[in-house]
Chain A
Amino acid sequence: MAKKKKTAEQKEYAKIEQKHELKRPVLRNCIVAFLVGGTICMIGQAVTYFYIYFFNFTEQTASNPTVATMIFFSMLLTGFGIYDHLGQFSGAGSAVPVTGFGNSVISAAIEHRTEGFVLGVGANMFKLAGTVILFGVFSAFVVALIKTILVQWVGI
């Protein structure tokens, strides 16, 4: 799988092509991602306060129902076909919060509905989010391991 070395001709072409390639508007993307991501998090904060005020949740425990609610919102938006437009507009702003995770699961589930519930929805639901779960769990394991070693042996 090692990347093949480009020939001189290919390098030459890459140069010509680069000249015409449309660049991603990075600054604009950053600003929009900040604003949209911030808005989503603000809604999340409002939901947290909602659970603190009206139900028996503390700041610590309210995060669970909040996450569930935010995923529920993103499920509605995905199902009604709004979230993909939001994603194109805001990029990381809508992908990084938990709503983006929800969207990746739900969109895959909708997509593979035609292949049936078991082999379609069940098997493909986590095809995008699966990597997030796997490497999330794995990195959590590594961090916990390091911490345990430090605490146990080094005694910090």
Chain B
Amino acid sequence: MKEKKYQGIQKAFVCFLFLLVLSACQAQNDTSETRTALLKTTNPSAVTTENKAEEEQLVAKIKQKVLSMKEIYDVAVIKGEKEILVAYKVRHLQRFHMKKIEKNLQEKLEKAYPDENFSVSSDYKIFLEAVRLQEKSEHGKVTRDEMEEQLGKIFKLSKEKT
């Protein structure tokens, strides 16, 4: 009986190892920055799809504006052609007020920049994807069209419910 139990644990362990191997195969070529994006403050610089100075100034300003909210400690801003993605992380103990913070932020941004469309999200996944895209664009690996396409995918993802 005892040996049987022991075998059981061994089998479970093997299954666990198998899962580990499976997950290792999935590893992407992320930089260390992105890999820890969910755990640490990443502070990615704001980017736009257009390479214009005024646009860049605008997104930098938006970033400062978002960070001025004391509940938010990390934000990624990406400006697309029509919409601006604002993905942010909320301080842990403020996560209870998530809904309120999102509403406040949306209002604040729309008030300050009535001409722009904002899509705000506190979702880690959106933040992660934003950081990935920002890194790519920083290293100049993507063209403008590719970036727009990626951004479109992120918007779509952020609207998924279940």
> Residue of A at shortest CB range from B124?
A59
Interchain nearest-CB distance for B31 vs A (Å) = 13
Q: List, in ascending order, chain B residues with CB within 8 A of A67's CB.
A: none
Q: Are the C-beta atoms of A82 and B8 separated by less than 8 Å? A: yes
Q: List, in ascending order, chain B residues with CB within 8 A of A49's CB.
A: 38, 124
What is the interface size of chain A, counting residues whose CB is below 8 A from a CB of the partner? 18
Interchain nearest-CB distance for A69 vs B (Å) = 9
Q: Are the C-beta atoms of A80 and B160 separated by less than 8 Å? A: no
Interchain nearest-CB distance for A109 vs B (Å) = 17
Q: Are the C-beta atoms of B125 and A76 separated by less than 8 Å? A: no
Q: Among the listed stretches B9-17, B41-49, B139-147, which one makes contact with chain A, having 4 or more residues with CB under 8 Å of it?
A: B9-17
Q: Are the C-beta atoms of B12 and A57 separated by less than 8 Å? A: no
Taking a contact as CB atoms closer than 8 A, the residue among A50, A52, A54, A81 that contacts B124 in the complex is A52
Q: Are the C-beta atoms of B8 and A62 separated by less than 8 Å? A: no
Contact of A61 with B by CB under 8 A: yes
Q: Are the C-beta atoms of B125 and A62 separated by less than 8 Å? A: yes
Q: Per-residue 0/1 for B1-32: is the Cβ within 8 Å of any A Cβ (1 yes, 0 no)?
A: 00011001101100100000001001110000
Q: List, in ascending order, chain A residues with CB within 8 A of B28's CB.
A: 53-54
Q: Known contacts A49-B38, A58-B157; decide if A80 and B125 are in contact (CB<8 Å).
A: no
Contact of A77 with B by CB under 8 A: yes
What is the interface size of chain B, counting residues whose CB is below 8 A from a CB of the partner? 22
**For chain B, what secondary structure do more than half of its interface residues adopt (helix, strand, loop), or is it mixed?**
helix
Contact of A60 with B by CB under 8 A: yes
Q: List, in ascending order, chain A residues with CB within 8 A of B125's CB.
A: 52, 57-59, 62
Q: List, in ascending order, chain A residues with CB within 8 A of B38's CB.
A: 49, 52-53
| Docked pose: A62 CA to B158 CA in angstroms | 12
Q: List, in ascending order, chain B residues with CB within 8 A of A56's CB.
A: 157
| Docked pose: A57 CA to B157 CA in angstroms | 8
Q: List, in ascending order, chain B residues with CB within 8 A of A57's CB.
A: 125
Q: Per-residue 0/1 for A7-25: is the Cβ within 8 Å of any B Cβ (1 yes, 0 no)?
A: 0000000000000000000
Q: Are the C-beta atoms of B15 and A58 separated by less than 8 Å? A: no
| Docked pose: A52 CA to B127 CA in angstroms | 11
Q: Known contacts A50-B23, A81-B5; decide if A58 and B123 are in contact (CB<8 Å).
A: yes
Q: Are the C-beta atoms of A59 and B15 separated by less than 8 Å? A: no
Q: Per-residue 0/1 for A82-97: is the Cβ within 8 Å of any B Cβ (1 yes, 0 no)?
A: 1000000000000000
Contact of B68 with A by CB under 8 A: no
| Between-chain CB contacts (< 8 Å), 28 pairs | A49-B124, A50-B23, A52-B38, A52-B124, A52-B125, A53-B38, A53-B128, A54-B23, A54-B26, A54-B27, A56-B157, A57-B125, A58-B123, A58-B124, A58-B125, A58-B126, A58-B158, A59-B123, A59-B124, A60-B160, A60-B162, A61-B160, A62-B125, A64-B162, A77-B12, A80-B9, A81-B4, A81-B8
Listed from nearest, the 3 A-B pairs whose CB atoms lie closest are A80-B8, A58-B125, A54-B26
